[in-house]
Amino acid sequence: MSIYSLAQALQLYLKESRVGDQLQALQIQDAWESIVGKTIAKYTDSVRLQGDKLFIHTQVGPLRNELQFQRSTIIKKGVKLDNLIQIAHNVEIGSQTVIAAQTGISGSTKLGQKIMIGGQAGIAGHLTIADGVKIAGGAGVTKNLDGAGKSYAGFPAEEAKQSLKTQVYTRQLPELEKRVKELEKLVTQLLQNGSK
């Protein structure tokens, strides 16, 4: 016979009995209003967990329609979401991913695990983001990011090191334009003097 601590014995009992399922259902019902807000919770008739699926019943057509669109959106365990984030239909967000405020993720995008996304980043639809990717704030992701563990920045998003180089070159453009114009004048003068 094994020896268990009181906490271990309770966890084992809850796991093996239906009491654990009932307790989880109560936790979901209690958390529902804080998740969706008072207005939506007011128009929700019931919320229950069956296996690993969440069932929501409402008589309100527009709410039912919106929930139907969102049913294939999957946010896995341990994901941290800041405020004012737009997550479109059919998006999958891998576990332990962190997303900062005002980020938009377009439909059918698949995010791996342990991704970090800075504020005001935008991710186009139908893309795949590899595990451990870091996306800088304000970045615009327009293609798949396959480099697991790499950092990306800028618009369009590219590896962070290259993005910094691009920013440096962009800042130098006015000076480079001025130098090119001076060289063009000099070449024109040389050509004119050479033709005389």
Q: Where are the domains of the chain?
A: 1-71, 73-169
Active site residue 89: yes
Mean of all residue pLDDT scores within the chain = 87
Residue 48, pLDDT > 80, answer no
Residue 107, pLDDT > 70, answer yes
Q: Where are the beta strands (DSSP E) in the chain?
A: 46-50, 53-57, 74-75, 80-81, 86-87, 92-93, 98-99, 104-105, 110-111, 116-117, 122-123, 128-129, 134-135, 140-141, 151-153, 158-159
Fold (CATH) for 73-169:
UDP N-Acetylglucosamine Acyltransferase; domain 1 (2.160.10)
The least confident of 57-66, 96-105, 135-144, 166-175 is 57-66
**80-87: average pLDDT:** 93
Of 25, 60, 89, 148, which residue is the catalytic one?
89
Residue 43, pLDDT > 80, answer yes
Task: For residues 128 and 185, give the distance between their C-alpha atoms in angstroms, rounded to a whole number.
Answer: 50
